[in-house]
Amino acid sequence: MLIPEEHLFAPFVRILGKGRKGSRGLTQDEAYASMSMVLRGEVEPEQLGAFLMLLRVKEETPEEVAGFVRAVRDYLQYPASAEADLDWSSYAGKRRHSPWYVLSALLLASHGIRVCMHGAEGHTAGRMYTSEVLQDLGITTSHTMDDAREKIKQTSFCYLPLQTISPRLKKIIELRPLLGLRSPVHTVGRMINPLHAPYSIQAIFHPGYQKTHQEAAQLLGDTHLAVFKGEAGEVERNPDTECTVSSYNQGKMFDEVWPPIFARRHMKEEVLRPERLPKIWRGDEQDEYAEAAIIATAAIALRLMEKAKTPDDAMQQATTMWQTRDKSRH
């Protein structure tokens, strides 16, 4: 009787799933090797599903995230030099409030900060994603890396959907409705940094992941990162609540607590309408929550990029930028 030879990916599944006493997390090298196989299409669907869900149950470690991200970056053959100033991840989608973070990014871009926004969309029902609001603002998504680089040069802003960066990773994220849970790709995607920006701003929904992002950045040798619990998991500060921003700055980790802007909580929007964003930008419609979210989110980015010495200074700068913006731009 012939005994089938063990698949080369099987040991990685076994490491994660050998039981309460026998299982362990992957080392950074093991994470790199396993994700490299996934990207090359050398893994069976059954193995991939088991692998992703075992990681999800135990929650990925900084070493695993760093190894996965290194594999993605090597597979994508990253540029040798920075082609953007600020990397902005957008992988969650919004359901309670409109995607005001888009206007924060455009505000920074209008002042010469080159922003590369990238994300996934359509993986969770009932949410509004970045690409849905860009059209109303007169901005097209980039379906090639060359187009993204050209948009950065011309307007200091580009949006890369995940399928442009890696169709394989996009397919994995789209397994969420099938598996019933998010996968580690939601974490990994946030750290891809496709245009090699020196500064990266990220958000999470579950606070425990902030330290994971910080430590993974250190392992990867990245230079500057800020991560916080964003509204719905997007890079958008909720001005109604206190916000802890966890930063990594050239080897140093620290947290800053930003106090709430409002004493009371605002009601969520009844219906999310993408046409509201250009109206808010032009000043045709006023919304104190929206404007506070836009300014406060831009302020966190300014603080990350060392353009402000304190959160208060960052808020003042962002407020001035918003008040003096070119309203005819979008």
- DSSP letter for 40, please: T
Enumerate residues 6+ apart whose C-beta is below 8 A from 25.
Answer: 16, 58, 60, 61, 63, 64
Mean pLDDT over each residue of the chain, to the nearest integer: 94
Name all domains of the chain by residue range, CATH numbers in brackets.
Answer: 10-76 (1.20.970.10), 86-323 (3.40.1030.10)
Do strands 115-119 and 157-161 pair parallel, antiparallel, or not at all (unpaired)?
A: parallel
Burial class (CB in 10 A: 0-12, 13-18, 19+), 35: buried
User: Residue 79: what pLDDT?
Assistant: 75
Q: Is 160 helix (H, G, I), strand (E, B) or coil?
A: strand
User: Residue 206: what pLDDT?
Assistant: 82
Each residue of 63-106: pLDDT tens digit? Answer: 999 999 999 999 998 777 899 999 999 999 999 999 999 999 99
CA distance 254 to 214: 9
User: Residue 199: what pLDDT?
Assistant: 98
Instruction: Give me 143's structure tokens.
Output: 């379906």
Contact by Cβ (8 Å): 256, 278: no
Query: Which residue has 């990220």 as its token pair?
Result: 202
CA distance 285 to 31: 48
Each residue of 132-179: pLDDT tens digit? Answer: 999 999 999 999 999 999 999 999 999 999 999 999 999 999 998 888
User: Residue 41: what pLDDT?
Assistant: 95
| Least confident range of 112-126, 129-143, 219-233, 267-281 | 112-126
Contact by Cβ (8 Å): 188, 68: yes
Contact by Cβ (8 Å): 218, 252: no
Q: 2 pLDDT exceeds 90? A: no
User: Residue 101: what pLDDT?
Assistant: 98
- DSSP letter for 57, please: H
User: Residue 299: what pLDDT?
Assistant: 98
Where residue 239 falls (left for φ over 0; alpha for ψ -120 to 50; beta otherwise) is alpha
Kindly list the distances between the CA atom of residue 206 and the CA atoms of 146, 187, 213, 282, 283, in Å, as whole numbers in the listed order.
Answer: 34, 11, 12, 34, 34
Amino acid identity of 290? Answer: A
Each residue of 99-129: pLDDT tens digit? Answer: 999 999 999 999 999 999 999 987 677 789 9
User: Which pTM value belongs to this model?
Assistant: 0.95
Q: Provide the 10 A C-beta neighbour count for residue 77.
A: 7
